[in-house]
């Protein structure tokens, strides 16, 4: 660290200490959390479906892994499908050309693919949100960003939680996270909502039933 | 290039010019009312909104009370996770640090330095784009509205929707005329439908995303406990910038900290609903330092003071540092609705700008001295604010300060600017009506003491100052006869 850099740090810290000198020195850092841990208790999968649809994701239900492959086949606009490690083979339709991320696909190649198929870390029903954390079946962040079509499978009900307060303790902050609520959108032009600017313009969510 | 806010006229002059522009007014009125109504619905969905709001306030007060501790904790965690932390006392220092970091990434004559940018209030505040341009570095704004503003040589006018003052036809014309100068031109026969315009932006920016080596961002939150940075967005341009380049430089105000990972549960509920009126914004990215095999290999965090510690030193004014930049206060403000965002002369328009800018910059200029008067004190901003910043209280406090300074320094100039701004706020009929009835409503909501958290200690020995009993008109009459 050069001298000016370290003095900037020391100076800012000193200014802060002088400025907040009237703050308590004790460790009573208790926040009154007078809010709910969740706003709903039941029918989380239905609520998730409803909220995802409300933000223009398309939602499908699969009773078994083989159904996933059939649904995916029907959704694809072309054969080139990015498939991160850990996606079960049963989800991949026979007619797709599965592109593995090994060696890592460069952005230009990703830009030429038709879709990406992933799982997720969890989903939040109340807000219609899917969380990816780079775990098995999710891949690195670029894989779900550059292709124009993201197909995401949520295992139900075990991956569905009610609320944000229930989701955070299950997530590891040291992992890179992407929270997704509907496809890319903008309201920048006269506040008219348009789906799809830079992220995937299509978000398809497949709710895969338990014990299947 | 995005313009800078230099030599801006004081608020009343700029506001009068803006109110004469019928198009601007029509755009603003429609937009603010639309967002306001949507937001009310999104907030009404949560029965515990007030509890979340009070928790948000308490968490931010706790952060501000022990800001030194939290910054050190954050620095340690970011460093541990492979990031590098820099400290900047002011705008110049921050701009210099960012420039050096960009230079250090290499580049050559045939490959000049360029960076992609995610919309960030902090970099607007320090005039980073202008500084980089002067250093020969092109900074491409990638948020659709910021792109419109940048291509149009314009200034943002709203925190959330910076191009709110432009309609679709104006935007199409800007795209047709200017995109070619910056990269891929607008498609032939571009229409003015929002979908077509968004598509044009997608095509124009995609090549830049795919080749970008360096990105510059801000952050909505930084978690001290874990070293995690959080960016909320809608379009995916944020994800592009935060994920694809090799180097990521984030410039973030020192007040953007929350102490714990758990604290995000409050702000991730408060911010989207207050801001875009959504249950959740389409994309939220969280990263902690660098991640092996995923995203940027270099991560630099530039912690920005630039007047924040000076703001922190003011017992009444420091609450402005709780702001999470949701823009709810703009959308309910009768003065903003008529004056437009440019009249406030800084990156921060509307009620929050009226209290934040004069504190960050001081009140030596006419513009900054006039800002605390750019309000009818109706209290709607306070009611809307998700972290319960008592904006009217801070406005009154700053008016007192401007008055005192004007006397001490014989600054009749400043006083005149201030009075003109007050006259402006008072003489606009709708502004005036709102002021008549709302202040009393707002007063009831102000607790005598801050009941918990760090604020408690700050106010333990004294009551919070009261809003005056009288209306703004009475106040004016009595003090300026
Ligand atoms: S002052 Fe409050 S309402 Fe205004 S932008 Fe900041 S957080 Fe939002």
For A127, nearest residue in chain B (alpha carbons): B279
CA distance A105 to chain B (A): 12
Residue A187 touches partner B, C-beta closer than 8 Å: yes
Instruction: Count the neighbouring beta carbons within 10 Å of the beta carbon of residue B36.
Output: 18
* Global ipTM: 0.95
Cα separation of B68 and B65, whole Å?
9
> Does the distance separating the beta carbons of A31 and B198 come in below 8 Å?
no
Residue A120: list chain B partners with CB under 8 A.
none
Residue B231 CA to ligand 1 center (angstroms) comes to 17
Q: Inform me whether the pLDDT recorded for A23 exceeds 80.
A: no
pLDDT at position B454 is: 33
Residue A122's contacts (CB-CB under 8 Å, 6 or more residues apart) are A130, A131, A159, A160, A161, A167, A170, A171
Cα separation of A81 and B352, whole Å?
47
Q: Inform me whether the pLDDT recorded for B89 exceeds 90.
A: yes
Cα separation of A199 and B110, whole Å?
30
* pLDDT-based confidence at residue B20 (cuts at 50, 70, 90): low
Query: What would the DSSP string read from start to end of B70-94?
Result: HHHHHHHHHHHTT-EEEEESSHHHH
**What's the mean pLDDT in B429-434?**
50
Binding-site residues, ligand 1, Cβ < 6 A: B 323-329, 352, 384-387, 389
Residue B210 touches partner A, C-beta closer than 8 Å: yes
Q: Inform me whether the pLDDT recorded for A67 exceeds 80.
A: yes
How confident is the prediction for chain A on average, in pLDDT? 92
pLDDT at position B139 is: 93
Residue A174 touches partner B, C-beta closer than 8 Å: yes
Evaluate whether B129 touches B141 at the Cβ level (below 8 Å).
yes
Which tens digits make up the pLDDT trace of B137-192?
Answer: 999 999 888 889 889 888 877 877 778 788 889 999 999 999 998 889 999 999 99
- Contacts for B40-44: CB closer than 8 Å, 24+ residues apart: B41/B277, B42/B272, B42/B273, B42/B277, B42/B278, B42/B279, B43/B273, B43/B274
The token pair at A176 is: 């890179």
Could you tell me which of B163, B188, B168, B166 has the C-alpha nearest to residue B176?
B188
Residue A46's contacts (CB-CB under 8 Å, 6 or more residues apart) are none
> Does the distance separating the beta carbons of B254 and A196 come in below 8 Å?
no
Across the interface, of A32, A183, A190, the residue whose CB is closest to B194 is A190
Answer with the residue of higher pLDDT: B97 or B194.
B97
Across the interface, of A11, A165, A188, the residue whose CB is closest to B265 is A165
Residue B352 CA to ligand 1 center (angstroms) comes to 6
Residue A24 touches partner B, C-beta closer than 8 Å: yes
Residue A128 touches partner B, C-beta closer than 8 Å: yes
Could you tell me which of A113, A76, A73, A114 has the C-alpha nearest to residue A90?
A73
pLDDT at position B11 is: 75
How confident is the prediction for chain B on average, in pLDDT? 84
B3 alpha-carbon distance from chain centroid: 17
Output the CA torsion sign for A87, A89, A90, A94. positive
* Phi and psi, residue B23, nearest 5°: -60, -50
Across the interface, of B89, B282, B453, the residue whose CB is closest to A31 is B453
The token pair at B228 is: 């995690």
CA–CA–CA angle B66, B362, B69 (5° rounding) = 10
Residue B8 touches partner A, C-beta closer than 8 Å: no
Question: B325 in helix, strand or coil?
Answer: coil
A residues 56-85 closer than 8 Å to B (CB):
none
Ligand 1 atom 7 nearest Cα: B323
List the beta bridge partners of residue B232.
Answer: B284
How far does chain B reach from its first CA to its final CA, in angstroms?
A: 46
Burial of A58 (0-12, 13-18, 19+ CB in 10 A): middle
């Amino acid at each position: 660290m050069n001298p000016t850099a370290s003095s900037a740090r020391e100076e800012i810290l000193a200014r802060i200490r002088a400025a907040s000198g009237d703050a308590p020195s004790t460790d009573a850092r208790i926040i009154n959390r007078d809010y709910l841990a969740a706003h709903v208790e039941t029918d989380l999968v239905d609520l998730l479906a409803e909220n995802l649809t409300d933000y223009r994701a398309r939602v499908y239900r699969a009773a078994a892994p083989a159904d996933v492959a059939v649904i995916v086949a029907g959704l694809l606009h072309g054969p080139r499908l990015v498939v991160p490690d850990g996606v079960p083979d049963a989800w991949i339709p026979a007619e797709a050309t599965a592109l593995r991320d090994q060696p890592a696909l460069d952005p230009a190649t990703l830009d030429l693919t038709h879709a990406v198929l992933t799982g997720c870390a969890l989903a939040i029903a109340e807000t219609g949100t899917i969380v990816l954390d780079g775990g098995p079946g999710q891949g690195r962040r670029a894989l779900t960003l550059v292709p124009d079509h993201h197909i995401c499978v949520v295992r139900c009900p075990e991956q569905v939680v009610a609320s944000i307060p229930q989701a955070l303790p299950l997530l590891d902050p040291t992992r890179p996270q992407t929270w997704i609520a509907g496809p890319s959108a903008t309201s920048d032009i006269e506040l008219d909502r348009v789906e799809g600017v830079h992220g995937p313009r299509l978000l398809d969510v497949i709710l895969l039933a338990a014990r299947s | 290039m995005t313009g800078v806010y230099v030599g801006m006229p004081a608020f009343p002059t700029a506001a009068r010019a803006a109110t004469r522009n019928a198009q601007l007014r029509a755009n603003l009125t429609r937009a603010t009312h639309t967002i306001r109504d949507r937001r009310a619905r999104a907030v009404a969905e949560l029965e515990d909104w007030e509890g979340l709001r009070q928790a948000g306030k308490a968490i931010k007060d706790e952060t501000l009370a022990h800001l030194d501790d939290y910054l050190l904790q954050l620095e340690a965690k970011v460093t541990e996770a492979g990031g590098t932390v820099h400290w900047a006392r002011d705008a110049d220092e921050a701009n210099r640090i960012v420039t050096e970091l960009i230079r250090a990434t290499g580049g050559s004559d045939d490959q000049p330095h360029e960076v992609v940018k995610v919309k960030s209030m902090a970099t607007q505040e320090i005039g980073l784009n202008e500084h980089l341009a002067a250093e020969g570095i092109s900074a491409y704004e990638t948020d659709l509205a910021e792109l419109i503003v940048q291509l149009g040589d314009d200034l943002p006018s709203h925190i959330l929707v910076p191009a709110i003052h432009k309609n679709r036809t104006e935007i199409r014309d800007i795209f047709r005329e200017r995109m070619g100068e910056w990269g891929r031109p607008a498609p032939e026969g571009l229409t003015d439908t929002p979908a077509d315009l968004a598509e044009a932006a997608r095509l124009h920016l995609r090549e830049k995303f795919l080749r970008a080596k360096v990105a510059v961002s801000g952050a909505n939150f930084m978690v001290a406990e874990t070293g995690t940075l959080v960016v909320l967005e809608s379009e995916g341009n944020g994800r592009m910038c935060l994920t694809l380049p090799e180097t990521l430089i984030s410039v973030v105000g020192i007040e953007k900290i929350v102490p714990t990972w758990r604290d995000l549960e409050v702000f991730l509920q408060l911010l989207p609903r207050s801001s875009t009126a959504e249950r959740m914004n389409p994309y939220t990215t969280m990263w902690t330092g660098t991640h092996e095999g995923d995203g940027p290999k270099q991560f630099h965090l530039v912690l920005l003071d630039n007047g924040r510690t000076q703001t922190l030193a003011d017992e009444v004014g420091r609450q402005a540092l709780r702001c999470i930049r949701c823009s709810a206060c703009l959308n309910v403000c009768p003065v903003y609705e008529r004056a437009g965002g440019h009249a406030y002369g800084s990156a921060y328009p509307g009620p929050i700008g009226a209290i934040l800018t004069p504190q960050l910059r001081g009140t030596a200029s006419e513009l900054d001295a006039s800002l605390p008067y750019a309000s009818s004190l109706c209290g709607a901003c306070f009611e809307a604010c998700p972290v319960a910043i008592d904006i009217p209280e801070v406005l009154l406090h700053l008016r007192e300060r401007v008055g005192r300074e004007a006397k001490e320094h014989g600054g009749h100039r400043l006083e005149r600017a201030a009075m003109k701004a007050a006259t402006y706020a008072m003489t606009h009929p709708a502004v005036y009506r709102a002021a008549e009835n709302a202040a009393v409503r707002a007063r009831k909501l102000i607790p005598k003491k801050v009941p918990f958290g760090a604020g408690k200690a700050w106010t333990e020995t004294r009551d919070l100052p009261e809003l005056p009993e009288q209306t703004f008109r009475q106040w004016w009459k009595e003090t300026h006869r």
